């Protein structure tokens, strides 16, 4: 890999005036910031709709975009919303996402915009849906959910979607993709490539399962037979019971993994690269009986392996694919990652939990890897250092060539990961800001309080762009 660096920050964390980050001028300003610092990549999290815990990793669709990211001022400038309507949506705080308010008001506001579309726009929306059948399926699913009092699809009694609601969801998806396309094109013009994120699984209550039941491990009555999770690990003593339905890989293989191919091709339109979350499930996945209440009693089952990787490599072209190979990694998983050619992940925070050697210590990073100070599931770097035991913290500081007060060793850690052999280094935005654990984005296994963090424009202005520009120059990134 060519040496480069980037920043991890989800769209939701962008500053702005309307309860959550969006595809507006703030995203353009952030691209300018990345360019000024000499970064080459912007990594985001899944663009899919969020679940009841505000997580984008268990969504109503692998294809549909989060309506909260549609920028309201852009719609106002197009004459689809009034000044009074956007003013009514102004946030109460700039520091965290206002999910409760968004849930109760945002789609209704977008409905007003949809009703003002002229014939020309409506024709474009119809053409867009015809070109994107899985998005059309998602819009139908959401309209049917509305017609059935938001119940899970298995409990639907009304199979006729409301025509207006169907059109509203088609409008939302069209504007989502239209607005994002402009952001991506601008980023690319500034030399910034954008990396998206693919959750390995989808939600049971999703357009994907509803419209493609034969592709999932379900009983004849449509209920899940086995569900996804991970065994006990560093993050959770009982493992994590995600509850997503598992794929019927044998059925998927029969049509050449067509659903996955469509999913990847959609991501390749949105992004210059993608991270496949929980890549190890392609080799073997943790299967838990749907009746279990924790993930502890699951078992490993072989995944599609090389045949799936071969199919994805046939369509990837020049796109970057990152294999998230964290967690319980076996020799078979390592072999599959190497076979794929995809760079794996290294996380500095995992390197210093004890005094032993492991793949997450920077001297072990191969060139074909993407190195992070931490991911969206980790503590911030400052929070991590603060909470380390005295011995582990001392080892980290010695490793990074810092002596004296550890409070002054932050920059030495950043320099150490920059100096590593990893082709690409990614820093979460909190680590550029030097923020502590109170700004952590997600704590795995914790149901509430996650996915809230946002920055303000003034906070971004506190970051020394020349410092990172110089680091990128010194370490040829």
Contact in structure between 61 and 48 (CB atoms under 8 Å): yes
**What are 397's two structure tokens?**
């500081």
Count of CA atoms in the C-beta half-sphere (13 A) of 301: 17
Distance CA 237, CA 344 (A): 25
Distance CA 327, CA 278 (A): 9
Distance CA 64, CA 41 (A): 24
- Catalogue the E-assigned strands of 152-283: 193-198, 226-230, 240-245, 273-276
* Residues in Cβ contact with 127 at an 8 Å cutoff, skipping those fewer than 6 apart: none
Distance CA 180, CA 186 (A): 10
- Catalogue the E-assigned strands of 93-247: 193-198, 226-230, 240-245
Task: Please give the positions annotated as active site.
Answer: 277, 324, 377
**What are 331's two structure tokens?**
């020799």
Give burial (CB, 10 Å; 0-12/13-18/19+) of 225: middle
Contact in structure between 176 and 168 (CB atoms under 8 Å): no
- First-residue to last-residue Cα distance in the chain: 11
**What are 177's two structure tokens?**
């993709």
Q: What pairing do the DSSP bridges indicate for beta strands 273-276 and 320-323?
A: parallel
Distance CA 326, CA 370 (A): 12
DSSP state letter for 453:
B
Contact in structure between 94 and 20 (CB atoms under 8 Å): no
DSSP state letter for 226:
E
Contact in structure between 348 and 392 (CB atoms under 8 Å): no
Residue 197's closest CA among 117, 121, 96, 270?
A: 270
Q: Kindly list the distances between the CA atom of residue 392 and the CA atoms of 162, 187, 353, 361, 372, in Å, as whole numbers in the listed order.
A: 59, 39, 6, 13, 19
Distance CA 294, CA 90 (A): 41
Residue 9's closest CA among 392, 348, 303, 33?
A: 33
Distance CA 243, CA 334 (A): 26
Distance CA 74, CA 156 (A): 36
């Amino acid at each position: 890999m060519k040496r480069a660096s980037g920043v991890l920050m989800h769209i939701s964390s962008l500053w702005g005036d309307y309860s959550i980050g969006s595809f507006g001028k703030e995203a353009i300003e952030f691209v300018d910031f990345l360019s000024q610092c000499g970064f080459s990549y912007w990594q985001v999290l899944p663009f899919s709709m969020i679940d009841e815990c505000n997580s984008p990793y268990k969504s109503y669709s692998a294809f549909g975009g989060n309506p909260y990211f549609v920028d309201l001022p852009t719609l106002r400038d197009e004459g689809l919303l009034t000044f009074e309507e956007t003013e009514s949506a102004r946030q109460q705080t700039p520091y965290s996402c206002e999910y409760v308010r968004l849930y109760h008001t945002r789609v209704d506001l977008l409905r007003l915009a949809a009703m003002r579309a002229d014939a020309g726009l409506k024709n474009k929306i119809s053409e867009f849906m015809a070109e994107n059948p899985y998005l059309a399926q998602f819009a139908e699913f959401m309209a049917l959910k509305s017609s059935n009092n938001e119940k899970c699809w298995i409990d639907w009694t009304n199979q006729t979607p409301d025509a207006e609601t169907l059109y509203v969801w088609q409008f939302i998806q069209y504007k989502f993709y239209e607005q994002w396309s402009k952001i991506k094109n601008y980023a690319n013009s500034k030399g910034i490539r954008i990396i998206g994120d693919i959750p390995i699984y989808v939600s049971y209550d999703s357009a994907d399962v509803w419209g493609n039941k034969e592709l999932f491990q379900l009983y004849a009555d449509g209920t899940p037979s086995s569900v996804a999770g991970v065994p006990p690990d560093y993050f959770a003593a009982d493992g994590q019971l995600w509850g997503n339905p598992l794929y019927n890989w044998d059925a998927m293989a029969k049509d050449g993994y067509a659903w996955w191919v469509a999913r990847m091709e959609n991501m390749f339109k949105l992004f210059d690269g993608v991270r496949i979350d929980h890549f190890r499930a392609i080799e073997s996945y943790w299967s838990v009986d749907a009746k279990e209440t924790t993930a502890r009693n699951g078992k490993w089952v072989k995944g599609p392996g090389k045949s799936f990787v071969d199919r994805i490599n046939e369509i990837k072209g020049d796109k970057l694919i990152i294999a998230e190979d964290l967690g319980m990694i076996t020799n078979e998983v390592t072999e599959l990652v190497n076979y794929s050619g995809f760079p794996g992940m290294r996380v500095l925070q995992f390197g210093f939990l004890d005094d032993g050697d492991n793949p997450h210590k920077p001297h072990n990073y191969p060139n074909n890897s993407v190195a992070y100070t931490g991911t969206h599931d980790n503590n911030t770097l400052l929070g991590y250092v603060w909470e380390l035991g005295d011995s582990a913290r001392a080892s980290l500081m010695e490793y990074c060539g810092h002596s004296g007060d550890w409070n002054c060793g932050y920059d030495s850690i950043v320099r150490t990961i920059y100096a590593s052999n990893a082709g690409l280094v990614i820093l979460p935005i909190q680590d550029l800001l030097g923020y502590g654990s109170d700004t952590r984005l997600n704590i795995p296994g914790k149901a509430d309080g996650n996915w809230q963090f946002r920055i303000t424009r003034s906070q971004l202005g506190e970051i020394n762009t020349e410092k990172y520009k110089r680091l990128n120059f010194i370490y040829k990134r």
